[in-house]
Copies of this chain bind each other. A is one copy, B any other.
Amino acid sequence: MSQSPRNGAPVWVGVDVGGTKVLAAVVGEDGSLGRVARRSTPGRSVEPRQVEDALTEAVLEAADGAPLAGVGLAAAGFVDATGQRVVFAPHLPWRSDPVRDRLSEHWGTPVVLENDATCALVAEAEYGAARGARSVVLVTMGTGIGGALMLDGRVVRGAGGMAGEFGHMQVVPDGAPCECGGQGCWEQYSSGNALLRAARSSLGASTSSGQAGGLGGSVEPGPTLMEQMCEGNPARLTGPMVTEAAAQGDLVARRAFAVVGDWLGVGLANLVAALDPELLVVGGGVSAAGDRLLEPARQALSRSLVAASHRVVPPVLPAALGPEAGLIGAAVLCRRRVLGGAQE
């Protein structure tokens, strides 16, 4: 791949490869971001090449002609302990492909590959909500739930690099089927997809108000704000629409956040029982809703946590770096590794 550098200073590019979209940007040493390039993720059933073409486009757009110092990839899936492969990713087509080396060769620059949530935690600990904390659980709510752990100041990757897959902890026996093959996984109840499902099912109910035995008093007259936004077609509803509708007072949207937030707190209580962190940070796209999501989560955490009256219930903070946390952390990791600094 040839480049015509308009600018002599090589840049570190971070890329977030999520279940629905790819984000890429140049990340400065102070954590500042260049313009963010966006692409849709082609899906899980395409050829890996199609995802990699989208990555290449996003990286080129982000670098905007500058030479690459290195690229950090934050992937929504299991990354092996050596950081060479995506071992498994429910929403991506990679299956143990040697992604890192293939892209490094293709792009002619060092590439670091890491789980997206681990990247986000690295970023939050460096520039964001977890600065100064030594014992942190990060939960990222995007399409599903990811997560990452820092205990006693060190990121925990697990024996096989798979720690932090909180979204697939079972919270309901024989519960909702999950794309991972399991049932009742936490992310079926608390995630971007869960939020959409909750909102869509309520929409369906309130648009079918002619049915006998409907929701009675809770059915609102005329189309709701969310119905207007999606033009009466629940399939067109997006997470940002639900967030916006809730902000503007739509009751159905607010109810969806209350449900998903409550489940968030139940799962957080499980993590606190197991790990006793000093701080919980919630990131990912859904966390843009802020306290609308986090306040019901805090209430459920206090309600569900063992011995809550005998301990300090850890604060639940929104991630400070927004949806770009993953790509920022990936760029930080790439920079550190290429420059030979510390590993986290």
Contacts and interface: CB of A to CB of B under 8 A. Distances in A.
15 contacts: A87-B310, A88-B307, A88-B311, A134-B159, A149-B275, A151-B156, A152-B156, A158-B277, A164-B276, A165-B276, A165-B307, A168-B306, A169-B270, A180-B306, A271-B274
Interface stretch (A14-22, A29-37, A170-178): A170-178
Contact of A274 (B135, B169, B304): B169
Nearest to A154: B152
Contact of A159 (B159, B182, B269, B276): B276
Contact of A304 (B147, B164, B170, B273): B170
Interface residues of A, number: 50
A160 interface: yes
Contacts of A165: 273-274, 276, 306-307
Contacts of A312: 160
Q: Is the interface of A mostly helix, strand, loop or mixed?
A: loop
A126 interface: no
Indicate the member of A134, A166, A275, A306 with the most B CB atoms within 10 Å: A306
A274 B311 contact: no
